[in-house]
Structure 1
Amino acid sequence: MVLVFPFVPMASNSTSKLLFCILASLFLVTSAQNCSNHIFPANRTFTSCKKLPFLEANLHWNYNSSSAEVSIAYRAKQDPKGWVAWAINPTRQGMVGSQALVAFRNSNDSMIAYPTQITSYNPSMERENLSFQVSNISADYSNNEMIIFATIGTLGNGTTVNHVWQSGSSVSSNIPQMHPLSSPHLQSFGKIDFQTV
C-alpha cells in the first residue's frame, strides 16, 4: 500500500502532525486486518496470529496450556491448481527434517489435507505419520487462499518451535510437485512461540 499525503496549504505544524498520525493509523489498521481480523468459514476463531514475511501467508492459532495442544489455521495465497504446506521442524531450522501438513485440490476437485515428512530436498510429499499427534486436519479454499486447519500436540519441547511454510504451483496424480527455488521460497522458515498472543 502506498500512502499519499495531501498537500494542505497554510496548515500549522500541529495540524500536519495530526494528519500524518491519522493516515499512519489507517495504514496500520488496514495491515493488521490481513491477520487478526480475518473471518474464517464455519465461525472458527483464533486468539493469536502472525503475518509471515514470505509467500503471502499467515498463521493463526489457539494454544491450550492444559493439554499443550495448538489449534492452527495456516492460510496463504494460492492458485486453485497449486498446493500449500506448513511444518514444524523438531530438530533444526529449515525444510529437511520437518513434519508437514500439506493441502491441495485433489483430482475430485475437493480440498484435501494430510501429514507428510520432509526428509530431503526433493520430498515425495506422500501421506505419512508424524512424530507428534495431528488431529482435526482439514483444508478450505476461499478468496484465492488455501487454508489448512489442524490440532497438533502435545508439544513435548515447549511452546517455541522451528516452523517452515511453503507453496508450489502444481499437483500431479494427487502428489504436490517441487516448489520454486526463488528467494522467498528459500527464506520461508523461522521460529514461533505459541504462547505469544
Structure 2
Amino acid sequence: MAIKRTILIVCTIASLSLVSSAQTCKNYKFSNQRDFQSCADLPVLEAYLHWNYNSTAETIHIAYRASQTPRGWIAWGINPTGSGMVGTQALVAFQDLKGNMKAYTSQIKSYNPSMKPEPLSFPVSELSAEYSNDEMIISALLGPLSNGTTFNIAWQAGNAVSNDIPQSHPHFGPYVRSSGTLNFLSV
C-alpha cells in the first residue's frame, strides 16, 4: 500500500510540474529584450503570436514563434481576402544548410504554392528570423494596414526545405486547422 501511495504522490507532483511549466505566450521572454503588449497562444502547431499595434500608424509589430527542428520551416500571415490558407500574405522562415536563418515574404495563391519570395499586398519592414531553444521566430513590422484591426490569420510548419524553398507540409490534423481570426486590439 505504501508503494502505491508513493507512486501516486510522485505522479501527482510530476503532473503538476508539467502543468506549471507549460509554455504560454505570456510567460515567454525574448532574448533581445523585445517587449510585446499583446500575445495569443495559437491553438495548433505549438505556435504563439506576440504583437504591438500602433493605431496612429496602423502598423503591427509581430513576433511569431513555433516549435520546429533546424531543418524545418515556419510561416505566418494575414489573409486580407478570405479565410484559410489561400490568399494569405505570408512571412516565411527557415534555417539554411550553413545554419543561417532566412526570412522573406511570399503570397499563398493556391493549395500548392511555390513558396518563393515575392512582395506582399502591404508593406513589410524589419523582417528577421532566429532559431533558439527548438523554436523558430519571425519578427516584422507590417503596414500600414488600413482594413481595420481584425484580420484572418494563418500559420504553418513543414519538415523539409530544398534549394532554399520550403516543401509541402502535411495535409491532415493540425496542419489543416491552422487559421483563425484575430483582433489586434485584443490583449
TM-score, shorter chain, exceeding 0.5: yes
Q: Aligned residues: percent identity?
A: 55
Unpaired runs of 5+ in structure 1?
A: 7-22
In terms of Rg, which structure is larger?
A: 1
Map 1:127-138 → 2, pairs under 5 A: 127-138=117-128
CA distance in 1, matches of 2:40, 2:21: 15
Map 1:39-58 → 2, pairs under 5 A: 39-58=29-48
Runs of 4 or more, structure 1, over 2 Å off, are none
CA distance in 1, matches of 2:71, 2:165: 12
Kept in 2, the 8 Å contact 1:107–1:173? The answer is: no
Q: CA deviation at 1:87?
A: 0.9
Partner of 1:79: 69
Does 1:95 pair with 2:85?
A: yes
Partner of 1:187: 177
1:84-141: per-residue Cα shift (whole Å, max 9, x none)? 0001100110101110000000233200100000011111111100000100000010
Q: CA deviation at 1:30?
A: 4.6
Unpaired runs of 5+ in structure 2?
A: 1-7, 10-14
Partner-residue secondary structure (3-state), 1:195:
coil
What RMSD in Å do the two structures reach over aligned CA positions? 1.9
Amino acid at match of 1:146: M
CA distance in 1, matches of 2:119, 2:65: 22
1:21-76: per-residue Cα shift (whole Å, max 9, x none)? xx99x95x655x52112111211111110000000000000011110100000000
CA distance in 2, matches of 1:134, 1:30: 34
Amino acid at match of 1:191: T
Map 1:1-197 → 2, pairs under 5 A: 27=19, 30-31=21-22, 34-197=24-187
CA distance in 2, matches of 1:144, 1:30: 16
Kept in 2, the 8 Å contact 1:96–1:119? The answer is: yes
CA distance in 1, matches of 2:92, 2:21: 29
Scaled by the length of structure 1, the TM-score of the pair is: 0.84
Scaled by the length of structure 2, the TM-score of the pair is: 0.88
CA distance in 2, matches of 1:90, 1:66: 20
CA distance in 1, matches of 2:90, 2:118: 9
Amino acid at match of 1:137: L
